[in-house]
Amino acid sequence: MSEAMEVAVIGGGVMGLATAWELTRRGLKPVVFERFARGHHQGASHGATRNFNNAYDEEHYLDLLVRAREGWDALGQADGEPLLRLHGLLTYGDVDLMAIEQRLIERGIHAEILTAGEASSRWSGMRFGDDVLFSRDAGVARASAALGELERRIVAAGGEVRWETPVARIEETDEGVDIVLAEGRVRADVAVVTVGAWTERMLPGIRLPRLEVTEEFPAHFMPQAGSTWPSFNHYVDTDRYPATVYGMPTPGEGVKVGFHRAGDVVDPDARPHAVTHAHALADYVREWLPGLDPASAVPISCTYTSTDDSAFVLDRRGRIVVGAGFSGHGFKFAPGVGATLADLALDPSALAAAPFRLP
């Protein structure tokens, strides 16, 4: 065994990088192994923006959100601009707004309910059928910039990110975890596995919940000049539309709008890149977002890896720590997820919140 390390991280998307960064903050020098090249589009972490959505009423998500916000604040800025753009979030439709408002206020997070008229006067490019929950403590995470800043921090602290370094398999032994690469083996005391759509293939010996991989197609739409846009979650009538709709402004690209977890099940190594629900998305924009041009859609392909209940998987078995099933709503939690996975890697007795544990 030519090389040994304390902690190896398998998978260099946002969750793997956030975990490695958190480990460096605790004095370790982790090594991240990533199958693809820097900036690849094969997984779920690429693109300029992700919703920084705080509209949760479950305590385990709110705990993770608070921890994530601490991490985002510690990361601070990249290229002279904050990694979080807190331009606000609107949540509306078929959802209990008062429950979410109460939970956020209990956490010291801004939340207020506006009438449809009040919301329309502030965001003229949008249409509302009923009351709206507004939080100014939300907005978007600058996704691509965050990946770059995480890598910079890891390397500056003495860790490594090895791009284009596929891991064939991992094998737990009494001495550690053997990581099998094309050029041989390396050994880690502990391995953190954050490989998204490839989790079941990498961990055939661990009992996992069902992980469904889908290809999703949000799109950027061009806004009218002068309009301002928040991030938003619209819990629509699913008899009319395929799923809940989310959206956010992406400077230079338009306003991203998408259905949440409505795509076809795919093999992550053979994605068809066949756009789904394009007409329904354009119809939604035409009806609810009059400030956007419904004919201007530029689709984006990404994957979701989802558990049946959309809960994350954050747990440890032996010397292997698993982070998986981020179900299309994980990116904003990444610093909190990284801190949790680092806890699990460094302390075999540590536990994530019960809903995140393996069966």
Give residue-wise pLDDT tens across range 87-142.
Answer: 999 999 999 999 999 999 999 999 999 999 999 999 999 999 999 999 999 999 99
What DSSP state is assigned to residue 224? P
Q: Average of pLDDT values for 169-185?
A: 94
Q: Average of pLDDT values for 166-182?
A: 95
Residue 209 has pLDDT above 80, yes or no: yes
* pLDDT attached to residue 143: 97
* pLDDT attached to residue 227: 83
Residue 335 has pLDDT above 90, yes or no: yes
Residue 69 has pLDDT above 70, yes or no: yes
The residues spanned by each domain of the chain are: 1-83+141-209+310-359
The model's confidence at residue 236, banded by pLDDT at 50, 70 and 90, is: very high
| Gap between the Cα atoms of 247 and 130, Å rounded | 18
* Domain 1-83+141-209+310-359, architecture per CATH: 3-Layer(bba) Sandwich (3.50)
* pLDDT attached to residue 106: 97
Tell which wins on pLDDT, 155 or 228.
155
* pLDDT attached to residue 65: 98
3-state secondary structure of 243: coil
The model's confidence at residue 318, banded by pLDDT at 50, 70 and 90, is: very high
Average pLDDT over all residues of the chain = 96
Share of the chain above pLDDT 70, in %: 99
Query: pTM of the predicted model, to two decimals?
Result: 0.97
Q: How far is CA 196 from the centre of its chain?
A: 11
What DSSP state is assigned to residue 222? P
Q: Give the CA angle between residues 124, 126, 130 to the nearest 5°.
A: 110
Share of the chain above pLDDT 90, in %: 97
Please check whether residue 192 is in contact with residue 9, taking contact to mean a CB–CB distance below 8 angstroms: yes
The model's confidence at residue 1, banded by pLDDT at 50, 70 and 90, is: low
Q: How many residues does the chain have?
A: 359
* pLDDT attached to residue 327: 85
How do strand 264-265 and strand 219-221 relate by DSSP bridges? unpaired
Q: Average of pLDDT values for 17-36?
A: 98
Other beta carbons within 10 Å of 204: 8
